[in-house]
Amino acid sequence: MQNYQRVVTAIDLSEESAAVVDRANNIAARNSAELHLVHVIEPLSLAYGGDIPMDFSGVQDQLQEQAEKQLRQFGERYTLPSDRLHLLIGRPESQIHQLADDISADLIVVGSHGRQGLALILGSTANGVLHGAHCDVLAVRVGQ
C-alpha cells in the first residue's frame, strides 16, 4: 500500500460522518499525512431546479452558516487547522475532485450507504467521486 501524503475526507455532516472521519484520521496518522475535511453544499437552485421562481438566498445562507459551524466542530474534534477545513458550494463530485487536484491529494475518503436498486442506478456521491478521481478512493460503509 502506498504512503499517503494528503487525505481528503468528504463528509455530509451527519452523525455517520464521524465514522468516515475516524477511518480517514487513522489512515492519515499511520502515514503521517495531512487530513483535510470537505463538505459541499449543493445550491438549492440546483437541487430543486432553476425553474422555480423563488428566492432561496436566505435559506442558502442559513445552510452555509450551519455547515460552517458543524465543520469547525469536526475540525476541533480532530485538532485540524482551519486551512484544512473546506466548505464548498456546487456539485459535490466535481467540487471534491477539484479540491483533491488543487491540494495534490492522493486519497479521497467518502462514506457509502451501499445502496441497491434504483439508488444504485441513479448513482450516489461516493460513486461519482470514485469514477472521476485522479487518486485512490476509499468508500467507508456507513449506516445499516
Helices (H) and strands (E) in the chain, counts: 6, 5
Helix ranges (DSSP H) in 1-144: 17-31, 44-47, 57-77, 92-102, 118-122, 125-132
Nearest to 134 by CA among 99, 84, 110, 82: 99
Q: What pLDDT does residue 68 have?
A: 96
d(CA 92, CA 69): 19
Cell readout for 129 is 467521486
Average pLDDT by consecutive 10-residue portion of the chain (144 residues)?
89 92 97 97 65 65 92 96 96 96 97 58 72 92 77
d(CA 49, CA 41): 15
Stated pTM of the model: 0.84
